[in-house]
Structures are given as C-alpha cells and as structure tokens.
Structure 1
Amino acid sequence: MTSGDLGDLVVLTIREPAAALRVLRGLDLPMSARWMALLLAVTLSTLLAMLSLALFPIEVESPVSAVLSSPAVLAGVQFAAMAVSALMMAQVGRWFGGQGDFADALLIVAWVELLLVGLQAVQVLMMLLFPATAAMLSVLAFGLFLYLAVAMTKALHGFSSTGKVVLGFVGSLFVLGFVLSLLAAALGIVPEVTP
C-alpha cells in the first residue's frame, strides 16, 4: 500500500465507511499485524500526548493528571481501552444479531485510532499556532470518532438501522463508564469528595 493509497483510504473512510471496511478486510492482515497496528496507534498517541503535556503542562495535580504524566501507564491504559472497545464492538453487536468478529473489530479500532492520531497531531500544531482553534479540533475529533464508530460498527455487523446502532453504542458506553468508575473508585483512582 502506497502513501497515495493510504490517503485514498482515509478519504474513503470518511465518505463511505462501509466501503473502507471492505478495503481493510481485503488487505487480509494476519492477527499479529492488527495488534501491531493498534500498538502503533497507541504509541503515536502517547508520544503526541507527552509532547502536548511538555508544551502545555497541566497545573492541577489529580489522579488523572498523574496517569497522563506517565507514558507507560498512559500507553497501557489506552491499549487496554482500545482492546476492550474492539471486544465490545464485536460482542455487543453479535448479541444483537450482527455478523462481525473480533479480528475485524480490532482492525476497525486500530484504523480509527490511527485517523484520530492524525487529527491529534494537527491539534498539537494548532495549539502552538492558533490556540483558540485547538478546542474546535477537539470537538471535530470527538464527532469524527462517534461517526466512524457508529458507521463502522454498522458495516462490521451488517446492520441496517443507524439509530439502533447509535442506541447500542451509547448504552454500551454508559455501562462501560459505570463499570470503569466503580473499578476506579475501588482502586482509589477517583478522588473522594468531602462535604
């Protein structure tokens, strides 16, 4: 795959996610290459986060900022979160009658994360040149993530209803967020609120 093909795939992913998924599947990547793509995305994202933190230090000390300041911990958390996301994308979709599998879900998560890393790089640059526009890029990145997550999940499982995929996606996020907040509280990561 050349850089031109990669650029075409980026555009295709945004315009027609289902067609982009067919191209990604057509690459017939082994499972090890899918894991390596996810590892590459997490590594690049962590490097950009560390660069951003060096350029714009976080003043407030909190458990979250402590996690963000350690590259190994941040990378580990991101990698685990992406792997769990792929697992949930595959499993929850199958519970609702979808046909997708974990290998393709992992490929989707890695590819979407790589696209978001590209936006993250642009955001770091924009923070240096035009700080006011960096926040708009954050909103754009979040919107792109939601759009691609829903569209690619729909394509992965062969679903016809976008609304049902959105409901399933949002419901899964709430359940996962609740479980993770309980886990974080049990591990002492979330600070206690005192009256």
Structure 2
Amino acid sequence: MIPAQIGDLVVLTLRDPAAALRVLQGERLPMSVRWMMLGLAVTLSTLLSTLSLLLFPVAPGDAMGELFSVPLTLAWVQFGTIALAALCMTVVGRLFGGRGNFPDALLAIGWIELILVGLQAMQLVLMLLMPASANLMFLIACALFLYLVVAMTKALHGFTSTPKVVVGFVGSLFVLGFVLSLIAAALGILPEVSP
C-alpha cells in the first residue's frame, strides 16, 4: 500500500470499519506481516510514550509509572496485551457463534492500534501546546477505540447486534482485567496498597 491508500483506508475505517476490514482482508497479508503491523504499532506507541515521559516525568513513588517508564517493559506489556486481545476477540466471538479467526483478529487489532498511535501523537502535541485539551483527546481516543473494536468484531464474526457485541466486549474486559491482575500479582508487579 502507498501512503495515499493508507490515508484513504484510515478515512474509510472511521466512516465504515466493516468495509475497511474487508479491504484489509482482501490484501491477503501473510501472518508475518500481521505480526509486523502489530510490532510497528507497539514500537511507535512506546517511542511516543517514552517521549511523553521525558517531557512529563512520573511522580516519585508511582510504582506503575516507574515500571512503564522502562521502554522495553512497556513494549512487551503492550505487545502481549494486544496479542491477548486478538485471541480474546477470536475465542469469545467463536463461543457466541462467530466465524472469525485469529489471523484476521490480529489484523483488525493491529490496524486499530496503528490508528490510535496517530491519536497518541496528536495528544502529545496537544499536551505541549494546550495541556487542557489533551484530556479531551484521551477521551476521544477511548471512544474511538471502543467504536472500532465493536464494529470490527461485528464484521469479523458476522454478528448483527451491536448491543450484544458491546456486552460481550465489556464482559471480556472484566475477565481479561481479572486474569491480568492475577498474573501481575503472581509476578509481584502490582503496587502495594497501604492500609
């Protein structure tokens, strides 16, 4: 794809995520390229996060902030979380009668992450120029993420009910959050809570 086509695909994704997913699937990208797309999204996001931490350092004693201030740790956590999200998108969708597969879920999630990297860059610029509006950009990014994940999950699995996909997504987030917190606790990376 040339840059102009990528720009058109971004616009199509915002207008009609299902059509954008069909275009991406039509490219028939090999699995290695899908993993590279995810790797590119994580790398760019980590670079922007590191730059953000250099410009706006975390407060001393913020355990999670200090943990994620190590770029390699942040990159691996992001990569693992996004890959796990693609797996959940596949498995949960299949449990409810969907027809999607992991390679296409990875493609959808990787593309969504690349779009969010663009918003992350805009948020960083706004933090420098108009700090108050950076929070608004964060809310827009969260809303866009939810919109794209729900729309692409529907398209991936052939679902027709948006409310059911939203409920499935929220339920999956709770289960995934619980599992990740158990893993974090087992590895000893959760911050200590003072009594």
TM-score class, shorter:
over 0.9
Kindly report the root-mean-square deviation, in angstroms, between the aligned alpha carbons of the 2 structures: 0.9
Please name the residue that 1:5 is paired with: 5
Q: Establish whether residue 83 from structure 1 lines up as the match of residue 83 from structure 2.
A: yes
Please name the residue that 1:175 is paired with: 175
Please name the residue that 1:133 is paired with: 133
Please name the residue that 1:70 is paired with: 70
Partner Cα distance (1:91, 1:176) in 2 = 12
Partner Cα distance (2:67, 2:93) in 1 = 31
Aligned-residue offset at 1:109: 0.7
Please list, as runs of the form range in 1=range in 2, the aligned pairs for 1:39-58 lying within 5 A after superposition: 39-58=39-58
Please name the residue that 1:29 is paired with: 29
Unaligned runs of 5+ in 2: none
Aligned-residue offset at 1:60: 3.4
Contact 2:64–2:191 (CA under 8 A) maintained in structure 1: no
Q: TM-score with structure 1 length normalisation?
A: 0.97
Please name the residue that 2:108 is paired with: 108
Aligned-residue offset at 1:65: 1.2
Q: Which amino acid aligns with 1:160?
A: T
Aligned-residue offset at 1:193: 2.3
Aligned-residue offset at 1:135: 0.4
Partner Cα distance (1:120, 1:50) in 2 = 12
Q: Which amino acid aligns with 1:19?
A: A
Q: Which amino acid aligns with 1:144?
A: L
Aligned-residue offset at 1:68: 1.3
Aligned-residue offset at 1:2: 1.8
Partner Cα distance (2:124, 2:111) in 1 = 20
Contact 2:37–2:110 (CA under 8 A) maintained in structure 1: yes
